[in-house]
């Protein structure tokens, strides 16, 4: 893949994520990186181009970071601490051009790529910095070797908050913490609000 095509692919990925869910912004660069990581893990042909490596906040793609900066410099995305990261009208236009280019290349269709982006963004868009890091660190321990945060996170507390938000169930927390279902149930009962669904 040429450097221009790789840049276009990275731009396509970033803009597709930002365009999903009626263009709801992503609140931080860390969250954007982790959402991209979770999406691209399902699509190995795309995952390899993102080149995620262990980094101080878990899996990190320098190429996606550079692409985000380039898109910001071209006014195709807006990045602000207050409003988060969002696609601009110019970015929408560029995304349509990228989609038309990709369609013209007769490339094999990526099975349900857009639907998967929507699902992952919907599931993770409201995670705080520590919640997403806790989830990623426990789900993908191979990516924490360079982390400066992994030992500082109170995993039980973060997963309890995610449970109370309805984002994680008892079984998933048990899996992530390597606890029994009963131990998680008792922890939640003693430290939080047990949600009966």
Mean pLDDT of the chain: 91
**Using one digit for the tens of pLDDT, what is the confidence trace for 121-143?**
999 999 999 999 999 999 999 99
pTM of the model: 0.91
Residue numbers of the chain with a pLDDT score lower than 50: 1-2
CA dist., res. 10 & res. 18, Å (int): 12
List the one residue out of 31, 51, 14 whose CA is nearest residue 133.
31
The gap from C-alpha 153 to its chain's centroid, in whole angstroms, comes to 19
**Using one digit for the tens of pLDDT, what is the confidence trace for 56-84?**
999 999 999 999 999 999 999 999 999 99
Q: DSSP secondary structure string, 55-98?
A: -BTBSB-HHHHHHHHHHHHTTSEEEETTTEEEE-HHHHHHHHHH
Q: What are the angstrom distances between the C-alpha of 19 and each of 88, 127, 188?
A: 9, 18, 36
């Amino acid at each position: 893949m040429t450097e221009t095509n790789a840049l276009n692919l990275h731009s396509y990925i970033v803009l597709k994520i930002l365009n999903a869910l009626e263009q709801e912004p992503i609140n931080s660069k860390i969250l954007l990186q982790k959402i991209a990581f979770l999406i691209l893990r399902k699509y190995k042909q795309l995952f390899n181009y993102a080149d995620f490596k262990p980094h101080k906040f878990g899996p990190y793609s320098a190429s996606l970071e550079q692409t985000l900066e380039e898109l910001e410099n071209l006014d195709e995305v807006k990045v602000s601490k207050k409003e988060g990261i969002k696609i601009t009208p110019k970015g929408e236009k560029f995304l349509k051009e990228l989609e038309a280019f990709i369609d013209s290349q007769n490339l094999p269709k990526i099975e349900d790529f857009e639907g998967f982006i929507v699902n992952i963004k919907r599931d993770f868009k409201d995670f705080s910095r520590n919640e997403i890091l806790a989830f990623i660190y426990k789900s993908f321990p191979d990516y924490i070797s360079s982390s400066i945060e992994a030992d500082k996170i109170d995993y039980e507390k973060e997963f309890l908050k995610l449970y109370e938000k309805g984002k994680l169930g008892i079984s998933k927390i048990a899996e992530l913490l390597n606890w029994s279902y009963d131990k998680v149930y008792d922890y939640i009962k003693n430290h939080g609000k047990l949600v009966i669904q």
